[in-house]
Amino acid sequence: MSPVRRLLIVIAGLLSVLIVGVAIFSFVTVRKSFPDTKGEVQISGLKGEVEIKRDGKGIPQIYADTPEDLFLAQGYVHAQDRFYEMDFRRHVTSGRLAELVGDAALDTDKYVRTLGWRRVAEKEVALLDDSTLSLVKAYARGVNSYIDSRSGSELSLEYAVLGLTGPDYTPEPWSVVDSLAWIKAMAWDLRSNMTDEIDRVLATQKLTVAQVEELYPGFPENHHTIVGDEGTVQDGAFVDEAPTAAGLARTAVASLKKAKSSAEALPALLGIGDGIGSNSWVVAGDHTATGKPILANDPHLAPSMPGIWYQVGLHCRVVSKACPYDVAGFSFSGLPGVVVGHNAKIAWGVTTMYADVADLYLERVEGDTYEYDGKQVPLETRRETFKIAGEKSQTITVRSTRHGPILSDLDEDAEDVGESAQKTATRGSYEVALRWTALDPEPTIKAVFALGRAQDWDEFRAAAKLFTVPSQNLLYADVEGNIGYQSPGTIPIRKKGDGRWPVPGWDPSYGWKGSIPFDELPTVLNPDEGFIVTANNKVIGDQYPNLLGADTAAGYRSERIRDLLELRTQSPGQGKGLGVEDMSRIQNDTYSANAARLVPQLLKVDPGSRYYRQGQQTLTKWDFKQDADSPGAAYFNSVWRHLLKLTFQDELPEAVWPEGGERWFSVVSDILDRPGSHWWDNVSTPERETRDQILTQALRDARDELTMIQSRSPKQWRWGTMHKLELVNQTLGDSGIGLVNRLFNRGPYRVAGGSGIVNATSWDATEGYEVTAVPSMRMIVDLDDVDRSRWIQLTGASGHAFHDHYVDQQKLWSKGETLPWVFTPKAVDEATDDTLTLVPRGRA
């Protein structure tokens, strides 16, 4: 044997040993954080024995004898499966993410610390009653029972990876404030139209206010509101029949919407991000196969790895006044209780109401003061110091006015609004401050517990009254056959203005004067129609005297859901009534009302050569459904993207280019019958383009794009090939290191649906076709037999990469399928694979 060959054999042997060693190390490291789900664990602070029964998907059903033990166990289970996610959220909501992941998160930390989420949550602790506080404390004890004595790498693989650049991380104990602060993060995501106010201002850099208003059409007159057009306020209470003075009320509201505030003299605005929303509907027993209501819900949120929801059942072994919980549904890791779900008597769903609970105030600032009511008032200031992993700490000064924190010190878009106003300033400078209801301490956590305990409509409404932020549409059904709707939340009453544009902070007449009393908020019980649909559409007609908010979804999803329900509820001979399977089919409906409106016009123009007509022909027999395998959906969405680009990008600042959601369906629909509208013209060319020229060019551009990215043959085009979902870990998924990304991310997955569609897998036309928001979970509750209910979430129960339950629900979710949702003790026992028993420490 030659020396060279002998050396190669030695090197190969050493490499084999190294590879085996790395594999063993990786296997051990990956599995090191996997929790035990069988056996017995002793826990300090428990009063009695707790059973945690998990099914084949790792979903836990928890049984205890006291509320404190029940929520302690929920904290323990959340920590077992999702502690890194909880710790990540805690760092986000306290403005300390840079401590964990470095300076890439510093801007986020500065923004959050300026808003003061955690400071508000700390104040809310003092507002908790003793009973609620004891439950949140018990939850925190449960979390700490699991994380105590465990290193970071024993809690999650993410900590092991982060530990490669520093010492092993040991997390802080969990606290009550950590749980309350997460509600602020959700409220921020669902805060309604603050972005719209900024975008309108930015749009006026190129457009007049009147042109901006064209791009922000009102709710379509032919679309239904949630509770109808005959509800109003009478003698301090909401009534569902309008009095004779309803015409006057409508006139007043219409006048208010048309009123011009002094803020409109400032450079103006445009646009709301599409995708964050939800669908929910409930059908009365008169229209179901069982004679009892069925409730469906699918909230639309940004995708993440792991998914934002955690499925759980919380059961008192003996339900009584002392231990009143027997509830199951979707929770947030880090937060005790069930946010959306059902108990033995009622079910509830949520959708974003888009109530306008945030206003931007322009402030005239001079030095350390700002103007208010003709006087210079001292700014409130505080110092915030930020620790940064691997770097020196930084300190900033946060400034606030009576309206709230000044965002223009940090937010570039908000700063642009101030700079636009500065052009007309004669002294000082303009800054932008935020007034937001969530910055006033009001502990919504009380509502979460109350919803879980509620047994009827009255108790449900009492729980809804505690649901202060975020403002959500609440749908209801019960085993007695009732269905209902309630608007909750702290919604401000404005002295002046309608909340759509920034207002002058120096003028007291633009302040708030309290909030809409709960008894005046829209509500309905057992409507004659036999069903209620909420899909972020307008809540109520203009006869309602209080201003809820103008920037709702345009109603394309809600109209489609209504059409599908009416097809079965109002047509004789359509079968024996709606069932759970029918609700699931509706949740997965991919019909595009936008395509139905636009395609007939697209088929009237001639794109030119046979090559371009081949693309156009994919639309001739298309059924307007955006299934993953549809060539027509692939081509139409490409046409839609290019149509928006050709029509609007020449006249709008880049920051507010159309993202293509429901609002833009209305905008294009409004100008489609006006071929000479100025919007069709490309202002950068000497000639004046018309509608048909733009439609023709969009058809041609889409054909060229799909030829390049998919195939020359239109038969090979597939919507799912371009419309993909990637599940990205929120900290390490964008590390820039391929190996690290692959450890934690999953996908991409081909998906159906799209923006403004019931199966709302949204995408942003300014970026591409990748999915930006999804139905983060789907649930269907059958009030005749809750064990027939179904549920699914985006990823899986576990937050541990490579665990069996890390992403085991995703394939079912993508195919529109669901899992059995067992609830009663017998059904839970039959579905149980593993049981972990928690016992008081020291028990013999």
User: What is the token pair recorded at 488?
Assistant: 């909750």
Buried b (16+ CB within 10 A) or exposed e, 770-791: ebbbbbbbbbbbbbbebebbbb
Give the whole-angstrom CA distance, residue 733 versus residue 555.
35
Catalytic residue among 94, 278, 666, 814: 278
Contact 780, 772 (CB under 8 A): no
- Cβ-contact 133, 433 below 8 angstroms: no
Which single residue is written with the structure tokens 């910055």? Answer: 439
DSSP output for 59-116: -EEEEESSHHHHHHHHHHHHHHHHHHHHHHHHHHHTT-HHHHH-GGGHHHHHHHHHHT
What residues contact residue 402 under an 8 Å CB cut-off, 6+ apart?
372, 377
CA distance linking residue 30 with residue 53, whole number of Å: 24
Q: Is 197 within any annotated ligand binding site?
A: yes
Contact 554, 663 (CB under 8 A): yes
Three-state secondary structure string covering 393-455: EEEEEEEEECCEEECCCCCHHHHHHHHHHHCCCCCCEEEEEEEEHHHCCCCCHHHHHHHHHCC
Would you say 515 and 554 are in contact if contact means Cβ atoms under 8 Å apart?
no
Residue 377: beta bridge partners? 370
280 included as an active-site residue: no
Report whether 356 belongs to an annotated binding site: yes
Cα separation, 133 vs 824, in Å, equals: 29
Distance CA 398, CA 403 (A): 14
Enumerate the β-bridge partners of residue 363.
Answer: 431
Taking 3-state DSSP, the helix, strand and coil percentages for the chain, each rounded to the nearest 5, stand at 40, 20, 40
Q: How far apart are CA 74 and CA 71, in angstroms?
A: 5
Helices assigned H by DSSP within 190-319: 194-203, 209-214, 246-258
Using N-to-C axis directions, what is the helix angle for 556-569 and 580-587, rounded to 10°? 150
C-beta separation of 67 from 137 below 8 A? no
Angle at 110 between CA 107 and CA 112, to 5 degrees: 110
Instruction: Count Cβ atoms below 10 Å from residue 257 Cβ, excluding itself.
Output: 13
3-state secondary structure of 735: coil
Using an 8 Å Cβ cutoff, are 430 and 365 in contact? yes
Q: How far apart are CA 658 and CA 95, in angstroms?
A: 31
Q: What SS3 string covers 554-576?
A: CCHHHHHHHHHHHHHHCCCCCCC
Annotate 326-383 with DSSP letters as a single string.
Answer: EEEEEE-TTS-S-SEEEESSEEEEEEE-----EEEEEEEEETTEEEETTEEEEPEEEE
Closest CA to 679 of 220, 231, 302, 214: 214
Closest CA to 268 of 200, 331, 330: 200
Question: Peptide bond preceding 748: is omega within 30 degrees of 0, i.e. cis?
Answer: yes
Report strand pairing: 369-372 vs 358-366. antiparallel
Q: Residue 538 and residue 554: Cα distance in Å, rounded?
A: 8
User: Are residues 686 and 300 in contact, defined by beta-carbon separation less than 8 angstroms?
Assistant: no
| Cis preceding linkage at 306, omega within 30 | yes
- Binding positions are 197, 356, 359
- Binding positions for Ca(2+) are 197, 356, 359
Active-site annotation, residues: 278
